[in-house]
Amino acid sequence: MICIECTKHAESLYTVYSNKHIQLTDCKNCNQVTDRYIEIDNVLLFMDLLLLKPGAYRHLVFNSLELKLSKYPESLPVEGSPQEKSKIIYSNFKNWIVKFDTTNRFWILLVAFEVYLTWSAEEHIYGLNQQRVKDDKYLLLNRILSADPLNQYLSYAGYCIVDMLIFYYLILFCVLRGLQWGKEMKYRREILSYTILLSYGAKIFPILMLIWPYDTFFSMNVIQWVANLYLIESLRIVTRLPYTSILSIFILVTIMKGTISRLFLISCFGSSIDEIKLMINSEIQFLLQKFNVSTNFL
């Protein structure tokens, strides 16, 4: 647990008296209330999260998360006979399901939302470039939207899942292994994971594109980049790493996930190496065309 003002370690967040009255503790370092969000309503907490208040993020990912995780037993090491190993693996998995039940539900909700937004955005791109897409049989957008609705949904679901997994694990690897962040923290992986989940919630901001009309590649990406800036700031608040490090990681992860996710879909629709090469070439040409449109708009 930490003080949400100065981020120094705190022994406790509050004291409970015999009459069940709670008194918040003060930080010994900065003399401020260690965590004022203990007594703040969840609605106000949510609003402060949207406003990127550092204290709100630190309350959730450090203090609230640690209090919750401390209630569950640690995972047991897998050792012993094959039968004992099976029991331990089952016990650890069951414990993991219970411990991260709420988190997993949020991830499922985000995936469903992301699939819907991606599908809607791709259909809109198809509408803006209908003739160009129809004329190129090797274009991925042509292949997907020519399929039946079920296969369209499965295609975008696979794309979004791969995209989110790459984003999640690359950030974990870069921050925890590359920058060696939080080496002294017990729950550093869980803290960063929860931060990614909370910040990834900003990716639902493009729902605004379905409410207000948009006509260009540029206007579509404005809201998406606002969400990306939200992700960057959220990671900076929690990790307290310099902007240069966060931006470097974000650019690397964005390029990697965009490339690998597209290649994943292309490999699913391409029947041969030559066809996959033609599809990759079509995707590059289409991307350059969209970039030229946005440049001309500016």
Spatial neighbors of 203 by CB under 8 A, at least 6 apart, are: 110, 113, 114, 117, 227, 231
Residue type, 93: F
Q: How much is the average pLDDT of 261-279?
A: 88
Q: Is the pLDDT of residue 53 over 70?
A: yes
Q: Would you state the pLDDT for residue 167?
A: 92
pLDDT band at 297 (very low <50, low <70, confident <90, very high): very low
Residue 72 neighbours by CB distance under 10 Å: 12
The string of DSSP letters for 145-191 reads HTS-HHHHHHHHHHHHHHHHHHHHHHHHIIIIIIS-TTTT-TTHHHH
Q: Are 253 and 168 in contact (CB under 8 A)?
A: no
pTM of the full structure = 0.85
Q: Is the pLDDT of residue 39 over 50?
A: yes
Q: Is the pLDDT of residue 221 over 80?
A: no
d(CA 194, CA 45) in angstroms, rounded, equals 16
Q: Write out pLDDT tens, residues 55-78.
A: 999 999 999 998 888 888 888 888
Q: Would you state the pLDDT for residue 260?
A: 92
Q: Would you state the pLDDT for residue 214?
A: 56
Q: Write out pLDDT tens, residues 143-179.
A: 888 889 999 999 999 999 999 999 999 999 999 999 9
pLDDT band at 256 (very low <50, low <70, confident <90, very high): very high
Q: Is the pLDDT of residue 213 over 70?
A: no
pLDDT band at 298 (very low <50, low <70, confident <90, very high): very low
Token reading at 156: 């975008």
- Dihedral sign from CA coordinates of 96, 102, 108, 111: negative
Helices 217-239 and 101-128: crossing angle, nearest 10°? 160
